[in-house]
């Protein structure tokens, strides 16, 4: 007599090493992924006496790569790392959003994105141009009098020296691959994961979330709607009023009104809610420090919210 069919085998767990360089700090997270389930294994920071983001992502000067490699080997010693993930803040590498027709084939799509990246990075299209491109959202656009579906993509240009360093770091950890993740996409992934744990929206018409990343040299914005990353942008850091103006202009560019923003999050190294009262007033939403560990339901007792907010890009890189 035949027995019941065997249950499908559970997916083998995969270890991801997410490493976020910013200034002299290198924040890291080790995440074990099995199917849709994720487990946070470790979280911490390595401090250096040099700018580690320049060491990895810069194009000139000493790279200090051996020092960074030794530190990461020590951090992830014994971990079976499958992939190295690195969130990148928008000013670090040339990046852009662009819409392409849904009907465009994969080879033509890649070539179009490659040419646009070469133009932005001022690289000859006859030279090899390495890009990292991800689809973001689909939108119907009016083109020559016809409504056509277009897919927005986010594209990063990856210079060859950066690719070479990341390849060496990935190999040093025993990882087969590396992937770059825009930090606003990573922040959006944290917001979306927390949204999935919330009850249905109680205030219809305010289903947009805005996440602002505050850093010494820049601010960055991520817009999330219905659990999806809509867009990301960045600008120079300045007075609090500048951030409010910048955010309002960004929302208008996306065709969104401030009244549609129901939640306002802060993350990054300079995430101080007191600096963004004007923006909170504009949005009619109080600023909330984004806690990436709440996704795993394990925020340590007594952990400083501002410190946890600095780990958003690191944790979000593994969530997206």
Q: Are strands 218-225 and 146-157 parallel, antiparallel or unpaired?
A: unpaired
Based on the domain organization, do 308 and 217 belong to the same domain?
yes
Same domain, yes or no, for 166 and 48? yes
- Residue 318 maps to a domain: no
pLDDT tens, residue by residue, 54-101: 999 998 766 799 999 999 999 999 999 999 999 999 999 999 999 999
pLDDT grade for 10, boundaries at 50, 70 and 90: low
Split into its structural domains, the chain has a count of 3
- Any domain includes 317: no
On whether both 292 and 230 belong to a single domain, the answer is yes
- Whether residue 1 is contained in a domain is answered as no
Do 202 and 283 fall within a single domain?
yes
Q: Is the CB of residue 169 less than 8 Å from the CB of residue 152?
A: no
d(CA 74, CA 91): 29
Residue 7 has what pLDDT? Answer: 55
Domain that holds residue 277: 184-312
* 54 & 99 share domain: no
Same domain, 141 and 170: no
Same domain, 62 and 124: no
Whole-angstrom Cα distance, residue 188 to residue 317?
10
Quick: pLDDT tens for 110-155: 999 999 999 988 887 677 899 999 999 999 998 877 899 999 999 9
pLDDT the model gives residue 171: 96
CATH number, domain containing residue 86: 3.30.420.10
Three-state DSSP at 157 gives strand
Look at residue 59 and tell me if it is in a domain. yes
Is 278 found in the same domain as 231?
yes
Residue 191: CATH number of its domain: 3.30.420.40
Q: Could you report the per-residue pLDDT of 173-230, keeping only the tens digit for each?
A: 999 899 999 999 999 999 999 988 877 655 555 789 999 999 999 999 999 998 999 9
Given 138, 156, 174, the domain boundary residue is 156
Residue 269 — very low, low, confident or very high, per pLDDT cuts 50/70/90?
very high
pLDDT at 1 over 50: no
Residue 7 belongs to a domain: no
Q: What integer pLDDT is reported at residue 128 of this predicted model?
A: 82
> Between helices 312-319 and 183-196, what is the axis angle to 10°?
70
Question: Does 67 fall in a domain?
Answer: yes
Same domain, 148 and 217: no
Same structural domain for residues 103 and 84? no
Q: Do 278 and 203 sit in the same domain of this protein?
A: yes
pLDDT digits (tens, 9 = 90+) for 21-31: 999 999 999 99
Decide: 28 and 46 in contact? Cβ < 8 Å: yes
Q: Is residue 164 part of a domain?
A: yes
In a domain, 2, yes or no: no
Q: Has residue 4 got a pLDDT over 70?
A: no
Give 40-67 pLDDT, tens digit per residue.
Answer: 999 999 999 999 999 999 987 667 999 9
Do 145 and 240 fall into the same domain? no
pLDDT in tens, 164-175: 999 999 999 999
Classify residue 194 as exposed, middle or buried by CB count within 10 Å of its CB (0-12, 13-18, 19+): buried
What predicted TM-score, i.e. pTM, was given to this entire model?
0.93
């Amino acid at each position: 007599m035949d027995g019941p069919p065997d249950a499908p085998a559970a997916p083998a767990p995969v270890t991801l090493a997410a490493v976020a360089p910013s200034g002299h700090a290198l924040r890291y997270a080790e995440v074990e992924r099995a199917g849709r389930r994720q487990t946070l294994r470790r979280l911490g920071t390595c401090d250096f006496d040099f700018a580690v983001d320049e060491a990895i992502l810069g194009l000139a000067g000493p790279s200090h790569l051996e020092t960074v490699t030794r530190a990461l080997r020590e951090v992830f010693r014994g971990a079976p790392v499958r992939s190295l993930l690195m969130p990148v803040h928008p000013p670090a590498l040339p990046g852009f959003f662009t819409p392409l027709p849904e009907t465009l084939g994969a080879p033509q799509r890649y070539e179009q994105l490659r040419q646009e990246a070469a133009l932005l990075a001022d690289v000859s299209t006859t030279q090899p141009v390495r890009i990292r491109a991800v689809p973001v959202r689909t939108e119907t656009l009016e083109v020559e009098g016809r409504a056509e579906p277009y897919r927005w993509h986010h594209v990063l240009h990856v210079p060859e020296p950066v690719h070479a360093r990341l390849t060496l770091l990935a190999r040093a950890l025993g990882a087969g691959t590396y992937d770059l993740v825009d930090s606003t996409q990573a922040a959006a992934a944290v917001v979306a994961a927390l949204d999935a744990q919330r009850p249905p929206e109680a205030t219809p018409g305010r289903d947009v979330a805005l996440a602002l990343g505050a850093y010494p040299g820049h601010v960055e914005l991520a817009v999330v709607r219905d659990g999806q990353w809509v867009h990301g942008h960045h600008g120079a850091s300045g007075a609090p009023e500048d951030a409010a103006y910048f955010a309002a202009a960004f929302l208008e560019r996306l065709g969104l009104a401030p009244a549609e923003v129901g939640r306002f999050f802060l993350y990054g190294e300079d995430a101080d809610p007191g600096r963004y009262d004007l923006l909170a007033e504009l949005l009619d939403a109080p600023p909330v420090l984004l806690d990436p560990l709440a996704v795993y339901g394990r925020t340590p007792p007594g952990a400083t919210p501002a410190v946890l907010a600095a780990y958003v890009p690191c944790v979000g890189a593994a969530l997206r």
